[in-house]
Amino acid sequence: MQTRFDAAQLTDPDTAEAEKVLRKCVHCGFCTATCPTYVLLGDELDSPRGRIYLIKDMLEQNRPATATVARHLDRCLSCLACMTTCPSGVHYQHLIDHARVHVEMTYRRPLHERWVRTLVAKVLPYPSRLRAALALARRVPGPLRRAAWLPPSLRAMLQLANTSAARAHTVTPAPAPAPAPAPALALALSVVPRPSASRSAVPFRSAVPFRSWSWPPLPAGTR
């Protein structure tokens, strides 16, 4: 990809690194196949390739981020699945991180967005606060959760909290297949919503029919 940064811009180490990353992109579009937001929304600007164009234009022109740019960059999950399929080795992580810093420095978000982002930052990293917030959210009446005056992101979080609560008390029996070889059985449980979940899972682990299996030993002299 051709870039048009001037010498003064390239004196900034982060911008210089971003310019190197941008030059590696060849617009092939392989990244779109593994990008969950592009697969879901089908919008080119919600793909890594589209975001790279937005980032390139914003950084080259040294212009403040717009609401459109902020929205498409915010939708990136930073899963970095795109980096696993890029044949040119584009370091997308550096680009998206650098762009997000630029967005936060140059774009003033609407009041409700700033409020929701502050709320998430103050609650999500702390298990005790998150448990209290979930308990409070589950007490919000249904009509209030769907109120039009609430920010869409807050409505979605309230709905998610109540959906997860319903699913936590619903058990769907799975078919019992014949025991089959399995290299490992991993059971991932969240300890935040219900700390007793691990104890509750003991009967489930005991009921799942599986037998352990290990790889045969390698021949002598091989690694």
Residue 166 — very low, low, confident or very high, per pLDDT cuts 50/70/90? Answer: low
Mean pLDDT of 144-168: 75
Instruction: State whether 84 and 120 are in the same domain.
Output: no
- 52 with 93: CB under 8 angstroms? no
Instruction: State whether 88 and 52 are in the same domain.
Output: yes
Residue 211 sits at φ, ψ, to 5 deg, of -130, 150
Domain that holds residue 26: 9-106
Residues 103, 69: Cα–Cα separation, whole Å: 8
Which pLDDT score, from 0 to 100, does residue 79 have?
A: 93
* pLDDT above 70: residue 164: no
pLDDT tens per residue, range 200-219? 444 444 444 444 444 455 55
Residue 130 — very low, low, confident or very high, per pLDDT cuts 50/70/90? Answer: confident
Say what the pTM is.
0.67
Which pLDDT score, from 0 to 100, does residue 173 have?
A: 59
CATH of the domain at 81: 1.10.1060.10
* pLDDT above 70: residue 37: yes
Angle between helices 67-74 and 92-106 (to 10 degrees): 140
Instruction: State whether 159 and 71 are in the same domain.
Output: no
Give me the count of residues in the chain. Answer: 223
Smallest CA-to-CA distance from 163 within 193, 192, 185, 125 is with 193
Instruction: State whether 81 and 15 are in the same domain.
Output: yes
Mean pLDDT of 95-120: 91
Instruction: State whether 132 and 157 are in the same domain.
Output: yes
Contacts of 19 (CB under 8 A, 6+ apart): 3, 5, 10
Question: Which of residues 219 and 149 earns the better pLDDT score?
Answer: 149
Residue 221 gets the label, from left (phi > 0), alpha (psi -120 to 50) or beta, of left
Span of 42-56, 82-96, 100-114, 185-199 with lowest mean pLDDT: 185-199
Question: Which of residues 94 and 195 earns the better pLDDT score?
Answer: 94
In terms of C-beta density within 10 A (0-12 exposed, 13-18 middle, 19 or more buried), how is residue 105 classed? exposed
Q: Up-side HSE of residue 140: CA atoms within 13 Å toward CB?
A: 22
In terms of C-beta density within 10 A (0-12 exposed, 13-18 middle, 19 or more buried), how is residue 95 classed? buried
